Copies of this chain bind each other. A is one copy, B any other.
Amino acid sequence: MVSTLINGIETSSIDARDRGFQYGDGLFETLRIRHGRPCLWSAHMARLAHGCERLGLPMPDVALLCDEVERLCCGGADGVLKIVLTRGSGGRGYRPPQDPAPTRLLSRFPTPDHPPENRMRGVVVRICDTRLGHSPVLAGLKHLNRLEQVLARAEWNDISIAEGLMQDIEGNVIEGTMSNLFVVQAGVLRTPELSRCGVAGVMRAQVMAVAGTLGIPVGEGRLGLRDLATADELFLSNSVIGIWPVRRLDSRDYVPGPLTARLAAAVDMCND
């Protein structure tokens, strides 16, 4: 079965002049594939379109993307789909071409072999030393400039630690290296605001929407390490993992709580 398509062609080679390679000039989406179908497709397409608008990239034809996803996933298996969209080759130095011919790379991967107990028992996380910089022009976007995440993820090798939380340069807790963070405090769900850094995850938005329908108060704001220490429940979210409760952060233990469980069940249902 096909596992990689670049502009609709079965290849895994990129032109070295591609601006994705030269400058990280592009965006990506990571989707969960269930029974051969991408989950939360519309939400991922909406985020991609929003990112394209902010970066001045032409949004690909969604029907074309659908066809390509079909070619990659027609076997019906579960897995992960990554879509990378770049400004293609061309332009002069940093200057983008006036009429860009974007590169779209679709790749299918097996479902990551995370321990199944991550979902039920929860995961152990740590605080990273690497801080997220503040760049309002890029904040929220799932763009290809991901060196901060790479450096943060390089900080630990202990496989019992599933994720690292990143603070920004002012000490606000923002997100995990590959996930968003939620905190439950006295029945209220809170997640860091992302106006200066961080990735506005599709699953993050889904969790917030689901919380709304369940009548759980939810808000964005600034969270510090103290908020984490005093939280009743903590959990992580992304499109592939869904929701993982946090059962330990550094030396502090948490009990995967009822609100996390309700949200995880509701999100799973919507994700079907």
Contact A147 B177 (CB under 8 A): no
Given the complex of chains A and B, what is the CA–CA distance between A157 and B92 in angstroms? 12
Given the complex of chains A and B, what is the CA–CA distance between A244 and B98 in angstroms? 26
Interface flags for A69-94 (1: CB within 8 Å of B; 0: not) read 00000000000000010110000111
Contact B136 A133 (CB under 8 A): yes
**Extra A-B contacts (20), CB below 8 Å, given A21-B86, A25-B147, A131-B135:** A12-B15, A13-B13, A13-B14, A13-B15, A18-B21, A22-B84, A23-B24, A92-B112, A93-B178, A96-B153, A98-B157, A131-B136, A132-B135, A133-B133, A133-B138, A134-B169, A135-B148, A137-B151, A143-B147, A145-B146
Interface flags for A18-51 (1: CB within 8 Å of B; 0: not) read 1111111100100000000000000000000000
Given the complex of chains A and B, what is the CA–CA distance between A132 and B134 in angstroms? 9
Quickly give the copy total for this chain: 2
Is A222 among interface residues, defined by CB-CB distance under 8 A? no
Give chain A's interface residues, CB within 8 Å of chain B. Answer: 4, 6, 12-25, 28, 55-56, 84, 86-87, 92-96, 98, 105, 107, 112, 130-138, 143-154, 157, 169, 177-178, 197
